[in-house]
Amino acid sequence: MLAWGSITVGMAFVTNGRQLLIVRFLITYGMAQMKGIGGLKGWQWTFLLEGLPIIPLGLNNIEKQLLTNLLRNDSGVADSELISSTRLSWRQVRYVFIDWRIYLYGLIFVGNTTVIVCLTAFLPTLVESMGCSKTEAHIMTAPPHIVACVCCLLAGYLSSRQNEHSYNLAFCLLVALFGFILMLTLFNQGKVAVYASSIVACCGVLAAFPLLLSWLTNNVGGHTKRAMAISFVWGIGQIGGIAIPLIYRDVDKPTYRRGHLICAGMMVVSFIVTIILRICLMRENHRRTNLSLEEYAREAAIKEPCDRHPDVRYVL
């Protein structure tokens, strides 16, 4: 535990990329060598080392109250609620399950999350299949995520600057699809081609994730409905992780064409649903803009309308 903390603290004093890679290597290599200690596997030690230091360093009561007040006020402002409340609204809970848009978000989320989990779990195996050792494979999985991090920041900046989520999300999904197509077609072109293709796939699918989540939260009003919608969509998305052993199988080595095809198909489905959802939101915005006075009054009179209020316009 002391070694883990010391190395992690040491990351604060690195001055260049080479030193950062060395420190990260020590962390990854150290966790890999802990396999079998105390009868625990390497992945179990990963969770223990990341979680245990947090327990004695929890928030005090003042900090908890401060964060609670910030979240409460933010919820009220975001939902145009005159009085912000922390109470649970069962009416808003019901809204989540009868709002068909939530299910479309969930479908996109399943495709995106499943591919992310597949890449996260499979990338070391893919790199190892190119002739690298296990230690080298762990190191070589860092660059794709570093490049993907830059792409996430760029995509988020463009999306916020333009107040446009769907087109940016669709573009990221197409980039991921292009990456999987390259992985399918360039396997015989050498290790560099396959590795570069995996970087493209990582950039697309990882950059799409925050865009999708922010698009969802921007278009769901009501503090209870928003919280429930995020939980519901997130829960649906995790179902895809169950299928990982069925997507990338050992019998498909070394090309893994079947897994690449399935992931590419998921990107196509997510892309199509994204465009469909955008069109539906555009039509709903147009409908609300052209409401008659009677229709406006009737829809505005709904108790706790959340994002169903006729004054609300969905972010595209």
Q: Are 228 and 93 in contact (CB under 8 A)?
A: yes
Residues 6+ away with beta carbon under 8 Å from 68 = 86
CA dihedral 213, 215, 218, 220 (to 10 degrees): -80
Cα gap 207→201, rounded to integer Å: 10
pTM of the model: 0.73
Q: Tell me which H or E stretch contains 8.
A: helix 2-10
Provide the 3-class DSSP secondary structure of residue 283: helix
**pLDDT for position 83:** 46
pLDDT at 177: 92
The predicted structure's pLDDT at residue 76: 47
Q: Which residues have CB under 8 Å from 113's CB, separation 6+?
A: 209, 237, 238, 240, 241
Position 82 scores a pLDDT of 45
- Mention every residue, 6+ apart, whose C-beta is less than 8 A from residue 282: 316
Q: Which tokens go with 151?
A: 């792409």
Q: Across the chain, which distance is largest between two alpha carbons, in Å? A: 71
Residue-level pLDDT at 236: 84
State the DSSP H helix or E strand holding residue 68, giving kind and residue range, or none if neither.
Answer: helix 61-78
pLDDT along the chain (316 residues), means of 10: 54 60 62 67 67 64 74 53 60 84 90 86 76 72 85 88 88 92 80 83 90 88 83 83 75 77 90 93 88 82 79 83
The domain 91-308 is placed in CATH, from the list 3.30.1490.150, 1.20.1250.20, 3.40.50.970, 2.60.120.330, at 1.20.1250.20
User: Reduced to 3 states, what is the DSSP secondary structure of residue 130?
Assistant: coil
Q: Could you state, in order of their start, the residue ranges of all structural domains in the chain?
A: 2-57, 91-308
Q: Which residue has the tokens 């890449």?
A: 119
Q: What is the pLDDT at residue 29? A: 63
Distances in Å between the Cα of 41 and the Cα atoms of 93, 119, 136, 176, 258 are 40, 21, 20, 32, 29
Residue 188's identity, in one-letter code, is: N
